[in-house]
Amino acid sequence: MEIQEIKNYTEINERADTVLVLGYFDGLHLGHKALFEKAKEIAARDSLKVVVLTFPESPRLAFVRFNPELLLHLTYPQKRYAKFAEYGVDKLYLLNFTSHFSQLSAEDFIEQYIAAFHAKAVVIGFDYKFGHDRADGNFLKQHFNGKVVTVEEVQKNQEKVSSTRIRNLLTSGAVSEANDLLGYTFSTRGLVVHGDARGRTIGFPTANLAPLDRTFLPSDGVYVSDVLINGKTYRSMTSIGKNMTFGGTELRLEAHIFDFEEDIYGEVLEIIWLEKIREMVKFDGAEALVAQLHSDKEKALSWKKNSQEL
């Protein structure tokens, strides 16, 4: 898949006919995947190229008072791009959502951007809006001389699959449910750095991680996880939160990796979040903490998807 960053429609350089997918795809969850499945179907039938126009950051940054959370994503850029490719996208166009772009009318967007893509078909979600006048799919069908396919709402457990729903699940620690809506496992990348080295003294050494990406983190707690190290996956249990038992005041992300004893400072690890085991608890001392960690370890090692034990 080819990726091109553009400043405006004049930099779009498509010559072949395309099926164009429009939207802001943070996370590329099951609802988004449905759009790409439809686009691939159209492309295969009509010999078209699948292209996407999207934004690297949230369009909300152009409209609302800044909050650091607006810069957070469900997945880091490289993983998002890999998902686009996996879902059949031939070329991905990235356009910054600026004040200037936000003032573009829906009609001008069709005449400038969609025309530049040589689009024979456009695929959008049921709630897609565009232009400063917030036009919808019906407007697009009336003003675009091509096929417009609107993909209906995708539901899971009688509720819409959405990025907001997934974020809410993550902030409550329900990573397994979030994974079900994403259609793949939620993960966090981090650089292994030196910590207090207290884990070694109690028989549970940990890799202390400094998060690398502007991605959401799950709520504080202890989780079953897999850790990806240099292309190899290891089962682990990962904690996120303050080490309250020892008077910790800073947020820590630590992974105890089973059957692994190498020094990996400076390595980039990927934590794959599978299931929450428990909340963070302040124990009376190291002995009580170690007893709990052994219980956590047993649960983490025996965990399987859809297990009811946790």
Tens-binned pLDDT, residue by residue, of the chain (310 aa): 999 999 999 999 999 999 999 999 998 999 999 999 999 999 999 999 999 999 999 999 999 999 999 999 999 999 999 999 999 999 999 999 999 999 999 999 999 999 999 999 999 999 999 999 999 999 999 999 999 999 999 999 999 999 999 999 999 999 999 999 999 999 999 999 998 766 666 778 899 999 999 999 999 999 999 999 999 999 999 999 976 555 555 789 999 999 998 999 999 999 999 999 999 887 877 788 888 899 999 999 999 876 433 3
Query: Of 104, 138, 153, which marks where a domain is finished?
Result: 153
Q: Give the range of the structural domain holding residue 92, as residue numbers without chain letter.
A: 2-153
Separation of alpha carbons 95 and 87, rounded Å = 20
> Residue 255 sits in a domain of what CATH number?
2.40.30.30
**Residue that the structure tokens 């690890």 belong to:** 269
Q: State the amino acid at position 298 in one-letter form.
A: E
- Look at residue 12 and tell me if it is in a domain: yes
- Look at residue 174 and tell me if it is in a domain: no
Do both 130 and 205 map to the same domain?
no
> Residue 37 sits in a domain of what CATH number?
3.40.50.620
How confident is the model at residue 244, as a pLDDT? 54
Phi and psi based region of residue 11 (left: phi greater than 0; alpha: psi -120 to 50; beta: remaining): alpha
Do both 191 and 128 map to the same domain?
no
Separation of alpha carbons 40 and 44, rounded Å = 6
Do both 139 and 208 map to the same domain?
no
Separation of alpha carbons 53 and 259, rounded Å = 44
Do both 108 and 207 map to the same domain?
no
- Look at residue 33 and tell me if it is in a domain: yes
How confident is the model at residue 68, as a pLDDT? 94
Cα dihedral across residues 86, 159, 225, 193: positive or negative: positive
Strands (E), the chain: 2-6, 18-22, 49-54, 91-95, 119-125, 147-151, 155-156, 159-160, 187-193, 207-211, 221-229, 232-241, 252-257, 268-278
- Look at residue 213 and tell me if it is in a domain: yes
Specify the 3-state DSSP secondary structure of 220.
coil
- Look at residue 211 and tell me if it is in a domain: yes
Do both 18 and 111 map to the same domain?
yes
- Look at residue 162 and tell me if it is in a domain: no
Strand partners, 144: none
Do both 54 and 133 map to the same domain?
yes
- Look at residue 89 and tell me if it is in a domain: yes
Do both 142 and 40 map to the same domain?
yes
CB within 8 A of 52, min separation 6: which ones? 20, 21, 22, 25, 84, 89, 91, 92, 93
Do both 15 and 148 map to the same domain?
yes
How confident is the model at residue 9, as a pLDDT? 97
Do both 192 and 107 map to the same domain?
no
pTM, full prediction: 0.91
Total number of domains in the chain: 2
The pairing of beta strand 18-22 with beta strand 49-54: parallel
Separation of alpha carbons 148 and 158, rounded Å = 27
Do both 125 and 8 map to the same domain?
yes
Do both 129 and 252 map to the same domain?
no
How confident is the model at residue 310, as a pLDDT? 34
CB within 8 A of 195, min separation 6: which ones? 206, 208, 252, 254
Separation of alpha carbons 53 and 67, rounded Å = 25
Separation of alpha carbons 199 and 238, rounded Å = 12
CB within 8 A of 144, min separation 6: which ones? 110, 114, 119, 122
Do both 201 and 287 map to the same domain?
yes
- Look at residue 163 and tell me if it is in a domain: no
